[in-house]
Amino acid sequence: MNQIGDHFELEITFTQAEVNAFAKVSGDLNPIHWDEAFAANTPFKKPIIHGAFITSIFSRVMGMEFPGKGSIYLSQQTQFKRPMYVGQAYRFYFELLSIDVAKHSATYATQVFELERNKITVDGQASLMNTALF
Amino acid sequence: MNQIGDHFELEITFTQAEVNAFAKVSGDLNPIHWDEAFAANTPFKKPIIHGAFITSIFSRVMGMEFPGKGSIYLSQQTQFKRPMYVGQAYRFYFELLSIDVAKHSATYATQVFELERNKITVDGQASLMNTALF
């Protein structure tokens, strides 16, 4: 039974190889994501992870783990608040915020925190439909 | 010079191989995206493209083509209004909605339409920073 306040979290540390694979599959070859020399001359100093890769993790978790199978994305709002780097540990946090029984849908907080300093890097909210769960 | 109303569009037809590659890289192995037998027993009838794959295309276009190099994602809001399928032609449409000179940022409409029937499948809005352009 899904209850308001249910939550789920996982820790992820991304590798440059994973970011490069995402760049290739998405076609997003912006050098800010993989070129150390290019990134060194930006305010970020180092390559930053694609924001779209982070939202892909949201999709993966909600489709497969929490709430899981049968979930269909209705919407996602995401604010990219701080850059995210490879080799840095992050905590992904999901919380069930509301349920709409008539629409078989629910809204979730979708957030990422830099693990060590507990600083939020990505904030957001998703809504999804799951006829078996809601 | 970037002006309100500037727009950019491109047509994309996705293959199942591309969707499978996205599934692998994102870890989102939800069978609704690749398993024909599973999908046949859902309201969608056929495998549907990951919403997160579509938003990855938004990121790719804005980072590389329109407005292009140097763009940093600040936020993305996306509504998935209709399922999207492999082998179907889609038109991606981007339009510059507003510029905030003080923040070197701008907002864009990010939309996808089924090409043949001109039905909107994904609606959304992005904001991004680009110190060279805004």
Give the amino acid at B126. A
Strands A105-114 and A119-129, sheet pairing: antiparallel
Evaluate if residue A109 carries a pLDDT over 80. Answer: yes
Give the domains, in start order, of chain A with CATH numbers.
Answer: 7-129 (3.10.129.10)
Size of interface A-B (CB pairs under 8 A): 115
pLDDT score at A43: 87
Rounded Cα distance, B59 and B95, in Å: 14
* Cβ count near B75 (within 10 Å): 19
Mean pLDDT of B27-45: 91
pLDDT score at A69: 86
Chain A touched by B130 (CB under 8 Å) = no
What is the per-residue pLDDT across A112-133, written as a single tens digit (0 to 9) for each? 999 999 999 999 999 999 998 9
In A62-132, DSSP assigns E strands to: 72-80, 89-100, 105-114, 119-129
**Structural contact between residues A67 and A99, judged by C-beta atoms closer than 8 angstroms:** no
**In A60-88, which positions are buried (b, 16+ CB within 10 angstroms) versus exposed (e)?**
bbbbbebbeebbbbbbbbbbbbebbbbeb
What is the per-residue pLDDT across B56-112, written as a single tens digit (0 to 9) for each? 999 999 999 999 988 999 999 999 999 999 999 999 999 999 999 999 999 999 999
Residue in A29, A50, A59 closest to B28 by CB: A59
Chain B touched by A51 (CB under 8 Å) = yes
Q: What is the CA radius of gyration of chain B?
A: 16
Mean pLDDT of A78-96: 97
pLDDT score at A122: 98
ipTM of the complex in this document: 0.91
pLDDT score at B42: 87
| A22: chain B residues, CB-CB within 8 Å | 25-26, 56
Whole-model pTM: value is: 0.94
What is the per-residue pLDDT across A1-34, written as a single tens digit (0 to 9) for each? 789 999 999 999 999 999 999 999 999 888 889 9
Evaluate if residue B1 carries a pLDDT over 80. Answer: no
Query: Among residues B68, B79, B80, which one has the least CA distance to residue B106?
Result: B68
pLDDT score at A20: 95
Evaluate if residue A70 carries a pLDDT over 90. Answer: no
Q: What is the signed CA dihedral for A38, A39, A40, A44, rounded to 10 degrees?
A: 160
Angle between helical axes of B16-26 and B51-64 (0-180°, round to 10): 90
What is the per-residue pLDDT across A35-61, written as a single tens digit (0 to 9) for each? 999 999 988 999 999 999 999 999 999
| B39: chain A residues, CB-CB within 8 Å | none
pLDDT score at A1: 74
Name the strand (E) or helix (H) holding B8: strand B7-13
**Structural contact between residues B22 and A25, judged by C-beta atoms closer than 8 angstroms:** yes
Residue in A28, A75, A77 closest to B59 by CB: A28
With H, G, I as helix, E, B as strand and everything else as coil, classify residue A41. Answer: coil
Rounded Cα distance, B33 and B46, in Å: 8
Chain B touched by A12 (CB under 8 Å) = no
Å between B34 CA and nearest CA of chain A: 13
